[in-house]
Amino acid sequence: MRLVLATKDLTVAGRSFEGFPLLVGSDGWPVEPAQSFLWHILVESGEALSVLTWEAYGRRLFDYFAFLEANGLAWNEESQADGLSVLSRYRDWSSGELELDPSTLNKRLNLIVRFYQWAKQRDLIAVLPFGERRVRATPHSGFLSHVARPNAASTKPSVMVRERKRLTKFLTKDQAKVCLALDADPSHRILFHLMVRTGLRSCEARTFPLKYIFNPRLKKGLRLGQMISVALEPSDMHLKYNRPRTIDVPWSLMEEMWSYTLHKREVRKATGNGRTTALVLTKEGRQYAKDSIVDVMKAYERKCGFYVRAHMLRHTYGTYTLLALRKSRDFKGEPLLYVRDRMGHSDIQTTMVYLHLINQLEAQSVLAHEDEIDMMFMAGSTPSA
């Protein structure tokens, strides 16, 4: 059994489905009904339009069916008890032998649960391989507390595992200063700055297009040192949910990226095929791959001596940008909404985690941050509302 991502040659009704996940059995045929479910949930329902989401869903379902195949199990095998079902065995194996993080495992289980619910609706199975339990919803506090229903309850598949609440990790002001002062690879440096100074995801930073870069000093209508609004389009780069959005790029970062295009990028471009549209190139002249971002962060980690990961840079941007805007007397908008929109969150609750992180910062560190590294995020200016 293999997972294959379709090429541009996979077309339906004139539309290309390049990147669509294909589960291929040892006989060369699609693994059913898993393949039909993927088509339903990713295409027919229009739920997930991002190619990145396609791949993630495909890998989750592939992992389950590969487990079944390796253990000689049938996906529709009936069990006398939920705890003995094939799905429960997969959960226990993933949690025990693989030691998957509970949140990672629940993401996989959630999709598989939806697969079984879909199969039952189509009479492909008579009984679901899991039970359900009633849970009381955690009441909202703060921003959305006025819309929360008291004592609300819902059902949850019994196969899901209990998640431990994880702390959101971000760089402290001192750690950020250390990283910014490192003599890093020019491409690594641009990737690092794009994530920590604009809040881009790693997939967005590595596909950030060359066409967005210009010399700010020659652009009419711009003031020296101001934040530069850049409109991101899914047709130009990888954007989660395929939703266009606008980010604010510090003037100094735009200048640095412009300088990179004139020198370092040209050198690296000459070693490749010259056709990539991404701004940042590897030494071989290629666009950075998904896994290579991990290597970039590990390179920083080896030099600075502390833990650094791509998601921490994004959280660093969210935390300190929200902090700076809440303390600014010139910013007239709603800081939380500003950060939500720049980071591309689909739910304001996701952005609200930074409120908690701000509260965790010591007052002395907060005040010191504004004096020492606020140029890293705000470039000496405040964005307009």
Closest CA to 155 of 182, 134, 176, 181: 134
Is 246 domain-assigned?
Answer: yes
In this predicted structure, the answer to whether residue 346 has a pLDDT above a threshold of 90 is: no
Residue 91 lies in a domain: yes
**Domain C-terminal end among 108, 131, 154:** 131
β-strand partners of 341: none
CATH number at residue 276: 1.10.443.10
Residue 31's contacts (CB-CB under 8 Å, 6 or more residues apart) are: 1, 23, 24, 25, 65
- The backbone torsions φ and ψ at residue 218, rounded to the nearest 5 degrees and listed phi first, read -105, 0
Q: Is 112 a member of any domain?
A: yes
Cα(28)–Cα(37) distance, rounded to whole angstroms?
18
The model's pTM: 0.68
- Strands 153-157 and 132-136 turn out to be antiparallel
Q: What is the mean pLDDT of residues 169-182?
A: 91
Number of domains the chain contains:
2
95 within domain boundaries:
yes
| Token pair in block for residue 313 | 């840079």
Mean pLDDT across the chain:
87
Instruction: Name the residue range of residue 69's domain.
Output: 2-131
At 370 the pLDDT is 47
Mean per-residue pLDDT, 318-326: 92
Mean pLDDT, rounded, for 29-43: 94
Mean pLDDT of 32-48: 88
Taking a C-beta distance cutoff of 8 angstroms, is the pair 37, 21 a contact? no
166 in a structural domain: no
Between CA 69 and CA 19 the distance in angstroms is 24
Residue 212's pLDDT band, with cuts at 50, 70 and 90, is: very high
Q: What is the pLDDT of residues 67-106, one digit of tens each?
A: 999 999 999 998 766 668 999 999 999 998 888 888 889 9
